[in-house]
């Protein structure tokens, strides 16, 4: 599995026969008005009877990954590729090579239907599943193989190399070290124009085929290769938008739909960015509390130490390190994944302490490890962006969010600029009618999507006529399926379509 080494803009913070065991998850049912308690409770949460998911009639040529994660004994990670049409109309002609990663256990039933996972443009799907396969998906993999499909140009899919090197670095640093006018927004706007021209020229005539609708087509290409009628999809963050696009375009091909920490639908880019910032700030609060309880190297007030680090990075007082690099490293820690949480907390704390003492190398290494997936992610994120603000509005947001969200706010406002020159695309279609129940899971403190967009998505699914329920994970990180409690609910839902009572909760 390819690991990116260049920083990329992190829009998330600134920017078949057997279906597995049917075990009702052990969860507490809450009806609180707080975070994650949905307004759309269902009188009949079980929904309609749904058919079992099928095992593939044909399969991909799975084999060793070029750079496989260090998974524990009994876990198997394999990679494969498949071709998908650039556009299903045949215009423009040709195909993309899509990358996929399969994670399973030695005891995963051979006749268990695979579940398709997509994280969209947030991170490579293969990277997400690869990292959590190391430590956090045991319950789900006991029941089903998980097949992560990367978006076009992202992760294991055919690489896109369209950005000039200086623009790639400038976008990663949000123009902090770029030459030109003293107005940073103007500098970023100029970079946006250069980057857009370079990438649209490179991609012509297919520059507008990187949206969620085409990502849905790529997933359906896999379904067709498998020779199955329906598939189960788990979409997290931006991947939930891909999964919704699939449900809108191929409603009869969706057998199960899990929307994990979905980003908002039908909102402008600034609103979506603020949702992410709120989630990141909440995750930082949880991190700071745990850091203090561990007596980490950031002292008795880790939050204040991180504010100090980010403030110094913004002022250029951390050698060769932008503030966005610091936030990229921090977000990578807040997400969760490889290793236990206490080790991740201590690792970031030690790197932050070293940076404050004048050694930026450890924080830079964490930033590189947590960076996005290069030019393909830039293209996908820009294509997905809706109603980007003007430069004047970004300036207003920069002032407002600097006061309101002292750690993530300024960079979140600036992260809206690099895509402003990208050609606008229509908003993605939403499902008109869904005949299956839908499971929503969301975390209390999600640094990638936040949770404020949930009502809009549950409303859209409700408008399709689908039964649905929402489960809240009282933990911090992304995606929520890293919770074993959430995984038990997903396994039950995949087995027969039964949903937990809406408002159910899983402990941190």
As beta bridge partners, residue 442 has: 472
Q: Is the pLDDT of residue 126 over 60?
A: yes
Evaluate whether 137 touches 103 at the Cβ level (below 8 Å): yes
Look up the pTM and report it.
0.90
| Residue 30 pLDDT level (bands cut at 50, 70, 90) | very low
Tell me the H-state helices in 388-483: 391-404, 409-414, 454-463
Q: Is the pLDDT of residue 494 over 60?
A: yes
Average pLDDT over residues 241-264: 98
Q: Is the pLDDT of residue 40 over 80?
A: no
Which residue ranges form the domains of the chain, and what is each CATH number? 28-158+208-267+432-506 (3.40.50.1820), 269-414 (no CATH)
| Residue 24 pLDDT level (bands cut at 50, 70, 90) | very low
Q: Is the pLDDT of residue 5 over 50?
A: no
How many other CB atoms are there within 10 angstroms of residue 320's CB atom?
10
pLDDT for 48 equals 58
Residues 376 and 379: their CA atoms lie apart, in Å, by 5
Q: Which of 35-39, 196-200, 410-414, 493-497 has the lowest mean pLDDT?
A: 35-39
448 against 50, higher pLDDT: 448
Tokens of 500: 């937990």
| Residue 135 pLDDT level (bands cut at 50, 70, 90) | confident
Mean pLDDT rounded to a whole number for the chain: 91
Average pLDDT over residues 380-393: 97
Q: What percent of the chain has pLDDT over 90?
A: 84
Residues 16 and 421: their CA atoms lie apart, in Å, by 46
CA 206 and chain centroid, separation = 24
Q: Which residues are CB-neighbours of 387 under 8 A, at least 6 positions away? A: 268, 269, 270
Question: Tens of pLDDT along 287-299?
Answer: 999 999 999 999 9
Average pLDDT over residues 428-455: 96
pLDDT for 79 equals 98
In sequence order, what E strands does 71-204 have? Answer: 75-85, 95-105, 115-118, 146-149
Pick from 435, 374, 378: which is nearest to 247 by CA?
Answer: 435
Tokens of 10: 């992190």
Q: Is the pLDDT of residue 4 over 60?
A: no
Tokens of 282: 């909440």
pLDDT for 464 equals 97
Average pLDDT over residues 116-121: 98
Q: Is the pLDDT of residue 6 over 50?
A: no
Question: Tens of pLDDT along 261-272?
Answer: 999 999 999 999
Question: Tens of pLDDT along 167-199?
Answer: 999 999 999 999 888 999 999 999 999 999 999
Average pLDDT over residues 481-488: 96
pLDDT for 181 equals 85
Q: Is the pLDDT of residue 496 over 90?
A: yes
DSSP helix/strand/coil, 125 = helix
Q: Is the pLDDT of residue 8 over 70?
A: no
Residues 401 and 129: their CA atoms lie apart, in Å, by 33
């Amino acid at each position: 599995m390819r690991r990116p080494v260049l920083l990329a803009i992190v829009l998330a913070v600134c920017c078949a026969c057997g279906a597995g065991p049917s075990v009702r998850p052990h969860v507490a049912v809450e009806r609180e008005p707080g975070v994650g308690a949905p307004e759309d409770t269902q009188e009949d949460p079980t929904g309609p009877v749904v058919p079992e998911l099928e095992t593939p009639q044909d399969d991909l040529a799975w084999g060793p990954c070029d750079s496989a994660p260090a998974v524990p004994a009994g876990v198997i990670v394999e990679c494969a590729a498949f071709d998908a049409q650039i556009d299903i109309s045949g215009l423009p002609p040709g195909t993309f090579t899509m990358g996929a990663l399969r994670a399973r256990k030695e005891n995963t039933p051979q006749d268990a239907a695979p579940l398709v996972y997509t994280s969209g443009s947030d991170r490579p799907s293969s990277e997400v599943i690869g990292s959590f396969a190391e430590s956090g998906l045991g319950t789900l993999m006991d029941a089903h193989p998980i097949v992560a499909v990367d978006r076009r140009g992202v992760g294991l899919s055919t690489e896109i190399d369209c950005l000039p090197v200086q623009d790639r670095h400038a976008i990663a640093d949000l123009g902090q070290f770029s030459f030109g006018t003293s107005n940073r927004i103007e500098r970023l706007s100029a970079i946006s124009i250069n980057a857009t021209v370079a990438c649209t020229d490179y991609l012509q005539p297919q520059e507008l085929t990187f949206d969620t609708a085409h990502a849905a087509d790529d997933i359906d290409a896999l379904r067709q290769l498998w020779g199955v009628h329906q598939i189960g999809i788990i979409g997290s963050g931006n991947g939930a938008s891909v999964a919704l696009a699939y449900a809108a375009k191929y409603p009869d091909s969706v057998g199960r739909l899990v929307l994990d920490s979905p980003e908002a639908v039908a909102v402008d880019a600034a609103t979506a960015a603020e949702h992410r910032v709120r989630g990141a700030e909440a995750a930082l609060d949880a991190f700071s509390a745990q850091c203090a309880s561990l007596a980490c190297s950031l002292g008795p007030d880790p939050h204040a130490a991180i504010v100090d680090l980010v403030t110094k990075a913004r002022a250029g007082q951390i050698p060769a390190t932008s503030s966005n690099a610091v936030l990229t490293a921090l977000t990578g820690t807040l997400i969760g994944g490889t290793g236990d949480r206490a080790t991740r907390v201590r690792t970031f704390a030690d790197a932050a302490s070293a940076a404050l003492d004048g050694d930026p190398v450890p924080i830079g290494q964490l930033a590189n490890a947590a960076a996005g997936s290069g030019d393909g992610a830039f293209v996908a994120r820009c294509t997905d962006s809706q109603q980007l603000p003007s430069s004047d509005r970004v300036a207003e947001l920069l002032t407002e969010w600097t006061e309101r969200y002292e750690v993530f706010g300024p960079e979140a406002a600036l992260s809206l600029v690099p895509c402003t020159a990208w050609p606008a695309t229509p908003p993605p279609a939403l499902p008109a009618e869904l005949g299956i129940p839908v499971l929503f899971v969301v975390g209390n403190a999600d640094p990638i999507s936040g949770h404020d967009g949930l009502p809009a998505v549950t409303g859209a699914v409700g408008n399709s006529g689908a039964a649905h329920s929402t489960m809240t994970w009282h933990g911090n990180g992304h995606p929520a399926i890293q919770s074993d409690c959430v995984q038990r609910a997903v396994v039950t839902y995949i087995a027969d379509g039964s949903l937990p009572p809406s408002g159910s909760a899983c402990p941190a």
